[in-house]
């Protein structure tokens, strides 16, 4: 595929607007080229070194494919930018694991192969999960797993406030529970409303749970969702520091044992077990009941376009090693992800019953770039998180804040 410098520069700007919802740190590495026994693998996990379970897994997949894998872990945003620059220079990595909203941007830049062209089978992957990496009916990667959001709750606090978690079925019952918790002298709910992609990621369940459409930010459902968050902050059910909270700092608040609820992700399960108090997990409720659609987090294993097409056979073996039904359970256990296939999800729940609500949440999840949004998503997400900030800080009403956001999104300004 050929791509212009202008396309790549535009794509770089788009990737820059997307930040990881879970990544940290940074790293370095270089791509290989030509026919060699060394293949390069880039991922957004700089926290894992060669001695980690993940590092060993990549090495083992290379060994099984008959090659040495040179792995580099980068911060998610850095990874996307480096991938675009490497493609421009003709030395893209052989295999690359990227955050799902970035897939459409890399496809737009013309640097990813279709899974069908590589002979990779994605038929067993849940449609809503593969959808985040599908454009115009073609998938451009294989999801390695998914994570998403739900509500953790502190059993002791809810018991003391006489709240049955099973009673939380919609917004009204959740707000009523928060009122009881506050009356009992405890704190209500923590979440992240920070002015980054993390803020949008956390707002989407409420936005979608009201029936909101990302192409119509200031519609009545969107205003209702933002009004709910504002009500919680104004009435003291949620702390004012949600405006600065990342998902990590929001979790740290919940881990103090002072809060009844925390909106957070699958990746906190290990920390929840170490928190020192009893906890449970329920799905985020929709406005009028049922489980709200939640955004899918997680990465896709992709194969960038190479000058030497003969390298694809080995790259395919590496991808298959990580994502085949026989290996997914080990891969997703290592990364604390929910598997993208029902068969492996069943195996996960059998091994750890605590994953059941997460499997249910992933089944109801949506890709942020799905529904034809693709690279338009960043130009919608940034105005949306800006609106959340404006409304919760009191600078604008929810209606006015989202009205401004819709105008900016319509103009394509992130």
Is 70 a member of any domain?
yes
Which residues, listed in sequence order, are joined to residue 261 by a DSSP beta bridge?
153, 189
Question: What is Dmax (Cα atoms) for the chain?
Answer: 68
Residue-level pLDDT at 373: 86
Residue-level pLDDT at 252: 95
Is 85 a member of any domain?
yes
* Cα→Cα distances 385→12, 213, 380, 408, 409, Å: 21, 15, 9, 12, 12
Chain centre distance of CA 26 = 18
Kind plus residue range of the DSSP H or E element containing 135? strand 134-135
Whether residues 234 and 339 fall in one domain: no
Residue-level pLDDT at 313: 97
Positions of the chain with pLDDT lower than 70, given as ranges? 1-36, 413-414
Is 365 a member of any domain?
no
Whether residues 230 and 309 fall in one domain: no
Burial class (CB in 10 A: 0-12, 13-18, 19+), 334: middle
* Cα→Cα distances 63→60, 121, 243, 317, 375, Å: 5, 22, 47, 10, 36
Q: What is the pTM of this model?
A: 0.79
Supply the CATH number for residue 231's domain: 3.40.190.10
Is 366 a member of any domain?
no
Whether residues 381 and 283 fall in one domain: yes
Spatial CA neighbour of 98 closest among 38, 32, 175, 42: 42
Q: What are 173's two structure tokens?
A: 């019952």
- The C-alpha atoms of residue 77 and residue 15 are separated, in whole angstroms, by 6
Treating both helix axes as pointing N-terminal to C-terminal, what angle do 342-351 and 356-363 enclose, rounded to 10 degrees? 160
- SS3 of 57, please? helix
* Contacts (Cβ under 8 Å, ≥6 apart) of 373: 104, 214, 215, 380
Whether residues 141 and 172 fall in one domain: no
Q: What are 138's two structure tokens?
A: 């073609």
> Over the stretch 161-194, which tens digit does the pLDDT of each residue have?
999 999 999 999 999 999 999 999 999 999 999 9
Burial class (CB in 10 A: 0-12, 13-18, 19+), 144: buried
- The C-alpha atoms of residue 401 and residue 411 are separated, in whole angstroms, by 16
Strand 187-190 to 95-99 pairing: unpaired
Whether residues 196 and 49 fall in one domain: no
Whether residues 404 and 281 fall in one domain: yes
Residue-level pLDDT at 258: 97
Residue-level pLDDT at 6: 39
Residue-level pLDDT at 36: 52
Q: What are 5's two structure tokens?
A: 């410098």
Which residues, listed in sequence order, are joined to residue 147 by a DSSP beta bridge?
297
Domain carrying residue 183? 149-294+373-410
Chain centre distance of CA 12 = 20
Establish how many alpha carbons lie within 13 A of residue 269's alpha carbon, considering only the half-sphere containing its beta carbon.
Answer: 20
Fill in the DSSP letter of residue 304. B
Per the structure, how many domains does the chain have? 2
Residue-level pLDDT at 5: 38
- The C-alpha atoms of residue 147 and residue 365 are separated, in whole angstroms, by 9
Whether residues 282 and 316 fall in one domain: no
Phi-psi group of 236: left, alpha or beta (phi > 0 → left; psi -120 to 50 → alpha; rest → beta): left
Cα Rg, the chain, nearest whole Å? 21
Whether residues 243 and 382 fall in one domain: yes
Chain centre distance of CA 182 = 31
74 contacts 331 by C-beta, under 8 angstroms: no
């Amino acid at each position: 595929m050929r791509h212009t410098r202008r396309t790549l520069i535009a794509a770089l700007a788009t990737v820059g607007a997307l930040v990881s919802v879970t990544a940290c740190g940074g790293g370095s590495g270089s791509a290989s080229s030509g026919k060699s026994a060394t293949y390069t693998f880039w991922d957004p996990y700089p926290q894992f070194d060669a001695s980690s379970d993940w590092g060993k897994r990549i090495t083992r997949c290379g060994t099984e494919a008959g090659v040495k894998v040179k792995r580099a872990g980068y911060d998610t945003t850095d990874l996307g930018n480096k991938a675009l620059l490497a493609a421009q220079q003709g030395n893209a990595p052989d295999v690359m694991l990227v955050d799902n909203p970035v897939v459409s941007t890399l496809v737009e830049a013309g640097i990813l192969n279709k899974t069908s062209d590589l002979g990779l089978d994605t038929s067993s992957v849940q449609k809503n999960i593969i959808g985040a990496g599908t454009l115009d009916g073609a998938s451009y990667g294989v999801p390695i797993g998914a994570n998403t959001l739900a509500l953790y709750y502190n059993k002791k606090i809810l018991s003391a406030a006489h709240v049955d978690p099973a009673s939380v079925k919609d917004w009204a019952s959740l707000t009523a529970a928060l009122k009881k918790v506050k009356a009992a002298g405890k704190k209500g709910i923590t979440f992240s409303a920070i002015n980054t992609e993390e803020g949008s990621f956390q707002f989407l369940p409420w936005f979608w749970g009201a029936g909101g459409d990302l192409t119509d930010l200031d519609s009545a459902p969107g205003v209702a969702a933002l009004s709910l968050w504002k009500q919680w902050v104004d009435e003291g059910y949620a702390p004012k520091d949600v405006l600065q909270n990342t998902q990590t700092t929001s979790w740290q608040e919940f881990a103090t044992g002072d809060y009844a609820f925390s909106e957070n992700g699958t990746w906190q399960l290990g920390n929840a077990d170490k928190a020192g108090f009893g906890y449970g997990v329920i799905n985020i409720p929709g406005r009028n009941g049922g489980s709200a659609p939640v955004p899918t987090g997680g990465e896709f294993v992709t194969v960038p376009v190479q000058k030497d097409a003969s390298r694809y056979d080995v790259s395919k073996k590496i991808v298959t090693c990580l994502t085949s039904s026989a290996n997914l359970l080990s891969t997703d256990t290592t990364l604390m992800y929910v598997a993208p296939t029902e068969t492996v999800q069943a195996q996960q729940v059998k091994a750890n019953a605590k994953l059941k609500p997460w499997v249910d949440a992933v089944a109801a999840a949506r890709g942020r770039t799905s529904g034809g949004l693709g690279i338009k998503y960043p130009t919608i997400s940034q105005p949306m998180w800006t609106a959340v900030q404006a409304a919760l800080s009191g600078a604008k009403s929810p209606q006015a804040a989202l009205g401004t956001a819709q105008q900016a999104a319509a103009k394509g300004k992130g």
